[in-house]
Structure formats: C-alpha cells, structure tokens
Structure 1
Amino acid sequence: MQKEFSVQNPLGIHSRPAGALMKKAKLFPCDITVTKGDKTVNGKSIVGLLSLEMRYGDKVTVNTSGEQEEEALNELGQMLESVLE
C-alpha cells in the first residue's frame, strides 16, 4: 500500500518525532519505506528517517507491504500529519 502525506510539524521531523515514527513502525511486522523526492529509506531506521530532512509542508510517501500494512500506513500517516513534539 502507498499513500502521500504532508508533514505538519512546524519544526519538521527532527530527532524526537523521527524516533517516535521509528518506534511506531517497529510495532508492525510489515516492510515500511518512506520516500521524499528521489530518496527512499527504511521506515524502521531513525538514521534513514533523519536523512530525509523532512520539513514542514514536505510531501512524503509511505509504502507498506505485508502483514498489518493498512494499519501501519494509517498510523504512520496520522503521525506525519500531526504536530509531534
């Protein structure tokens, strides 16, 4: 499954929200990737997530594949489109 989301955190996805995203992603058994522009990273890697340098308003695509893929896509999307502290 794949869906595009817009980053809504005014400070972007810095270390704390990236850690929260990674922890949430690791709860799901499916494969998760996050894409911004032409760069795709493992959604379960904090280093990968930080390397995307996601800023407020950026469009990112989350891809999930496998068991619980729809639930993972929805929960990670909600996090990206909320104001994470």
Structure 2
Amino acid sequence: MGERKVTVAAEVGLHARPAATFVQRAKQAPMEITVAKSHGGDVVNGKSILAIMGLDVRQGETVVISADGEGSEEILDELASIASTP
C-alpha cells in the first residue's frame, strides 16, 4: 500500500474547491483511496466529498493519503499535489 504525507496549503484547508478537485481526481482511480489526519483519528473514503470535508482539515495540517493497486503511486502523487497547492 502506498501513502503520502502532505501538509495542506490552501487557505481554506481541504474544504470547498480543494476538496472537490481532490475528490474528482480520486473518483477517476480504480482503487480505494483513504485519507486521514496524520495525528490519528478517522480514516475516510477519499472519493467522498462529505467524508473529506468532515475531517475538517485546516491549512497547515498534515494528512495521510493511501491507495493500493496498479497505478496507485501516480494517483497518490497527483492527489498530494492537489492537497499541497495553496
């Protein structure tokens, strides 16, 4: 299983537009994608806008994005880029 630790850079955190962009890309992936705050807590479905927004990830917080399967490294790189874009 691959994973990326990413510090969220957007001023609004992983909410609204950044969350929508993240989920749109995640939904294109054939494998399961999960997201969790790095300090523990709930692991949520990375393809669910409500689940992502429910994490309440704010600017400067770190998340762990995980995926397993063929092509997961490329997907993780793209999702990490989305999450770390200001």
TM-score normalized by structure 2?
0.91
Q: Percent identity?
A: 37
* Residue ranges of structure 1 left out of the alignment (5+ in a row): none
In structure 2, the residue matched to 1:15 is 16
Q: Which residue does the alignment assign to 1:45? A: 48
State TM-score, norm by structure 1.
0.92
Q: How many residues align?
A: 83
Q: Distance in 2 between matches of 1:49 and 1:31?
A: 14
Distance in 1 between the 2:6 and 2:15 partners? 17
The residue type paired with residue 75 of structure 2 is: A
* 1:46-85 superposed matches below 5 A: 46-83=49-86
Query: Unaligned stretches of 5+ in structure 2?
Result: none
- Residue 74 of structure 1 aligns with an amino acid whose one-letter code is D
Counterpart-to-counterpart distance in 2, 1:13 and 1:70 = 21
4+ residue runs over 6 A deviation: none
Structure-1 residue corresponding to 2:29: 28
